[in-house]
Structure 1
Amino acid sequence: MRIAILPLALGTFAIGLTEFAVMGLLPQIAQGLDVSVPAAGMLVTAYAIGVVVGAPLLTAVSLRLPRTRMLMLFMGMFAVGNALAAVAPSFGVLVALRFLTGLPHGAFFGVASLVAASLVAEERRARAIAAVFLGLTVSNVLGVPAATALGSVVGWRIAFAVIVVVALASVAGIAILVPRTGIGTPARLGSELAVFRQPAVLLVLGMIVLGCGGLFAFYSYIAPVMTGLAGFGEGAVPVLLGVFGLGMTLGTVLGGRLADRVDPRRVMAALLAAQAVLLAVAVVALHTRWLAALVVFGVGLLGLALIPAVQSVVLDAARDAPVLASAAIHSAFNIANAIGAALGGVVLAAGFGLGAPSAVGAALAAVGVLLALVSMRVAARRPAAAVA
């Protein structure tokens, strides 16, 4: 069963490369397509919008397909999008392709999480989900720096071509290694949509949108904060991004183990509370280099440790129809990304200083704690109502 999870993790590795490597290649892309670097930032925005739109849309239209076929379809679309991006003739075409490439992102993550969970015993479910997300975190530690370096030397188009190869390897692995049976049956749209009337599901999605916005309020401005506040040189920023990625990787592993042993709702509340405290302390700690490095590691660790717990809660709340709700998690994360980055930019533009995005992040994480606590109360009432 662990072997069957490998091609799923390889798919999330390819997704991580596509989502984050572009950020390091923006200067090369801007120069190659004759646009400014700020304008090239639209490539990041277009992809994020594609994720938000595509996660529920693609999942809804493919619900009648077997889950293995859904995974192959989504990753195949991803490969095609990157292949076309590698030969895009103009910036406008590349922006459109980035939107289209983002469409299968959340749908793949959602279905891959369900398939991984179905391959193992229930007491190991969160760890299986964490294994799928390891591809994303490892891409941040190893893949993104490598793709950025490759693109800088031989051109950004080659970096997209490499992603195509990884995505196609994932498709082949899914076809060969992932079982066709025992991983769920085709779903009905009406049942999947009915799940969104459940308070437990809505609370978790709201908690992601607001609570996880704290992570992105900090991460979006990590470069100017580390150079302008902590006193690091520009050359240290890639190293700090690697530290953040290491924190994400360790957090994914630990979060999976924790959510299998403790009520995942308690895990969500505890992790968001720790994130709120850490980001509040960061307002002061970011003035000291070694403390700033610890903050970077800790924010990455706590942010990704949350994922297996969130996925487990949604699987429990939407047990009979989990496909669309699972995909919606990733739309919620990208909305959190947009909200966190926007609010962080607002306080910076207002002149509150480079520590302000961390303060905003702490406030958002604290709101997430409140929603997680409400989710715990709702879950506690459900068994009592069932007994009555």
Structure 2
Amino acid sequence: MTNAKFNAWIVYILAFGVFGIINTEMGVIGIMPQIAQKFGISASQAGLLVSLFALAVAIAGPVMPMLLSGINRKRLMLLVIGLFVISNIVSVYAPNFAILLVARIVPAFLHPVFFSVAFVAAANTVSKEKIAHVTAKVFMGVTAGMVIGTPISSFIADTVSLEASLWFFAIVNATTFIAISLFIPSMPVTEKLTYGAQLSVLKKPIVWISIATVIAINSAMYAMYSFFAEYLNAVTQMSGKQISLMLILFGLTGVIGNLLAGKSLSRKAIQTALVYPLALGAIYTLVFLFGSFSTPMIILIAIWGILFTLGLNISQYWITSAAPDAPEFANGLFVAFANLGVTVGTFIGGFFIAGMGTRYAVIAGLLFLALSLALIVLRASMYRPRHVKVGERTAA
């Protein structure tokens, strides 16, 4: 195997590792009804598996990668993935919901560390001008974990068992652990950026406006998506197998959305961001109105999947374009505050479900979309955007 092919193999291993971690985080969305049934809890309580995991990531995001930045990167990745494997196995045999919750929260604090190290490791496999290209490949692991891992876990839970679905998370991460052990060389740290240089970007108001926007967008997305399976079960009256198919449809169109996002953000970034809350708001409104009808919901889910991954890309672009001088730290901020948005959105969505019913999670999503639109308009009116081409974007 040539050196170039070997380095490409390393990048794919890193992308698969990212997929495994995101799959662990978001895969439970597709199996929430089964988890709620097994432990005798409500849908909003089951939502804690997503919201508290994301909260741990949000807390650790700006801190843990910097604290552990001096450790050999291969050893650090093995540490993180190893912890995820153990937590996944504990989840399979969790005797109650509390233990399941703890088993998920503990590894979440190291979630941002793997992301940070994976992007640096990928960058080290190529020349400087190709760094963005390889980090974009690693970022595809995020998209795959969010929009493909969920339907796979749902399908396994529905056709085999809930435990088999949880084993799927463990096997994916164990495969990554083995691959890193065998194929990725030792990566000692030779240079370490100062904390002050990275933290200095937080002095810019545009960064804070962008952070608030990312929180609002992701809150809007996950106020609904965290209860995707629950909504189709309770409102659309779909069976488990039908829900699995809808999650697969959502994932497939999500891949299309990821491809479209690159073109739209490179050509008309601000316009894309401005239109996004309006487009997703229209879909949410139609989901509220026609949620009881299967055929309209199939069409809406297909469009929803496209908009979902577009929202992820907009969020990443919004922060990294606000702090181009510190792309690594900016990516850490994206991971942290996107996950804070997941926490806030899931919590508020669950609040509306508990108080008004599953259908009314839509209201939470619409409120956050209105806030995100206001913040996008604020940034667009106050700052002239720095045009960043797709090939120059730092993936997160």
Task: Please identify, of 160-169 and 78-87, the stretch whose mean Cα deviation from structure 2 is larger.
Answer: 78-87
In the alignment, which residue of structure 2 is the partner of 1:320?
325
Alignment-derived partner of residue 148 in structure 1: 157
Counterpart check, 1:307 vs 2:304: no
**What's the TM-score once normalised by structure 1's chain length?**
0.78
Q: CA deviation at 1:226?
A: 2.6
Residue 228 of structure 1 deviates from its aligned partner by 4.2
317 and 58 in structure 1: CA distance in 2 versus 1, 3 angstrom threshold: same
- Answer whether contact 1:43 1:98 (CA < 8 A) is retained: yes
Shift of 1:99: 1.3
Distance 1:341-1:131 versus aligned 2 partners, 3 A rule: closer
Q: Give, in whole Å, the separation in 2 of the partners of 1:25 and 1:227.
A: 11
Moved more, 132-141 or 83-92: 83-92
For the pair 1:360 / 2:369, whether they are aligned, the reply is no
Q: 5+ unaligned residues in a row in structure 2: which ranges?
A: 1-6, 388-396
Correspondence for 2:176: 167
Which residue of 1 is the match for residue 264 of structure 2?
258
Question: In the alignment, which residue of structure 1 is the partner of 2:111?
Answer: 105
Structure 2 counterpart of 1:246, which letter?
L
Matches within 5 A, 1:349-388: 349-351=354-356, 354-380=358-384
Task: Indicate how the Cα distance of structure 1 residues 67 and 106 shifts in structure 2: closer, same or farther if over 3 A, else same.
Answer: same
Q: Deviations over 1:54-77 (max 9, x none)?
A: 222311202345766655554344
- Which one is further off, 161-170 or 89-98? 89-98
1:52 aligns with 2:58: yes
Q: Which shows bigger deviation, 219-228 or 68-77?
A: 68-77
Listed as ranges, the matches of 1:1-388 within 5 Å are 3-23=9-29, 35-38=39-42, 42-65=48-71, 71=77, 73-82=79-88, 85=91, 92-112=98-118, 121=130, 127-128=136-137, 130-137=139-146, 139-140=148-149, 143-145=152-154, 148=157, 152=161, 158-169=167-178, 171-172=180-181, 175-176=184-185, 185-259=191-265, 261-351=266-356, 354-380=358-384
Give the letter aligned to residue 326 of structure 2. Answer: A
Q: How big is the shift at 1:25?
A: 5.7
Q: 1:140 to 1:157 in 2, by over 3 A?
A: closer
Q: Which residue identity lines up with residue 218 of structure 2 in the other structure?
A: C
Q: What CA distance in whole angstroms lies between the structure 2 residues aligned with 1:157 and 1:86?
A: 6
Distance in 1, matches of 2:271 and 2:187, equals: 34
1:304, CA displacement in angstroms? 1.4
Question: Residues 21 and 197 (structure 1 numbering): CA distance in 2 closer, same or farther, change over 3 Å?
Answer: same
Counterpart amino acid of residue 211 in structure 2: L
Deviations 1:300-330 (A, max 9, x none): 2212123334323433332333333312222
Secondary structure of the equivalent of 2:69? Answer: coil
Q: 1:2 to 1:372 in 2, by over 3 A?
A: farther
1:318 match: secondary structure: coil
CA contact (8 A) 1:72 1:174 kept: no
CA distance in 1, matches of 2:343, 2:77: 26
How far residue 205 of structure 1 moved from its aligned partner, in angstroms, is 1.6
Q: Could you tell me whether the CA contact under 8 Å between 2:47 and 2:226 is conserved in 1?
A: no
The C-alpha deviation readout for 1:14-61, integer Å capped at 9, x for no partner, is 1133123445566877899xx534476654454233222222231120
Residues 74 and 205 (structure 1 numbering): CA distance in 2 closer, same or farther, change over 3 Å? farther
Q: Give the paired residue count.
A: 376
Name the residue aligned to 2:3. Answer: none
Paired AA for residue 319 in structure 2 = V
* Partners of 1:30 and 1:36 within 8 A in 2: yes
Tell me the distance in 2 between the aligned counterparts of 1:175 and 1:56: 26
How far 1:168 sits from its partner (Å)?
0.8
Q: Deviations over 1:213-268 (max 9, x none)?
A: 12112223333433444353454222222222223222223223433x32534433
Deviation string for 1:365-385 (max 9, x for gaps)? Answer: 1321221232233441889xx
Amino acid at match of 2:365: G
User: Could you tell me how far 1:152 is from its partner in structure 2?
Assistant: 1.3
* Percentage identity across paired residues of the two chains: 21
Q: 2:230, 2:95 → 1: CA distance?
A: 33
CA drift of 1:202 comes to 1.5
Distance 1:167 1:266 in 2: 39
Aligned equivalents of 1:218, 1:157: Cα separation in 2: 23
Q: Report if aligned partners of 1:67, 1:185 keep a CA contact under 8 Å in 2.
A: no
Change (3 A) 1:333 1:157: closer
TM-superposed CA distance for 1:154, in Å, is: 6.7
Inter-CA distance 340–160: structure 2 relative to 1 (3 Å threshold): closer
Residue-by-residue CA offset, 1:147-183 (whole Å, 9 max, x unaligned): 536871875664454133233145347725xx969x9
TM-score (norm 2): 0.77
